[in-house]
């Protein structure tokens, strides 16, 4: 897939994640490589808090995405 297509797909994924998080508050997402970076950037653009933590190797990372309206709860 092209760079443009990957960014477009990340936006679509972020839309779906945002909808789920607005309703349930929790979601586990497993992704790989650049798509995780694009998803993180999309949420930062939307003013969400995003924290990431690397694990044992360079390919595994956990993203914590927090709704800006629910940060204090």
What confidence tens digit (pLDDT) does each residue in 16-52 have? 999 888 887 777 777 777 888 899 999 999 999 888 8
Residue 63 in 3-state DSSP? strand
d(CA 10, CA 7): 5
**The tokens of 72 are what?**
């204090």
d(CA 42, CA 1): 18
28 contacts 20 by C-beta, under 8 angstroms = no
58 contacts 71 by C-beta, under 8 angstroms = no
Pick 2 or 28 by higher pLDDT: 2
Residue 1, C-beta contacts closer than 8 angstroms, at least 6 positions apart? 9
Mean pLDDT of 48-67: 78
pTM given for the model:
0.77
């Amino acid at each position: 897939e092209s760079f443009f297509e990957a960014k477009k797909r990340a936006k679509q994924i972020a839309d779906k994640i945002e909808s789920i998080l607005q309703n349930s508050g929790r979601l586990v997402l497993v992704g790989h490589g650049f798509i995780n970076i694009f998803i993180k950037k999309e949420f930062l653009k939307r003013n969400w808090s995003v924290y990431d933590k690397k694990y044992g190797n360079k390919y595994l990372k956990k993203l914590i995405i927090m709704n800006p309206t629910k940060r204090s709860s």
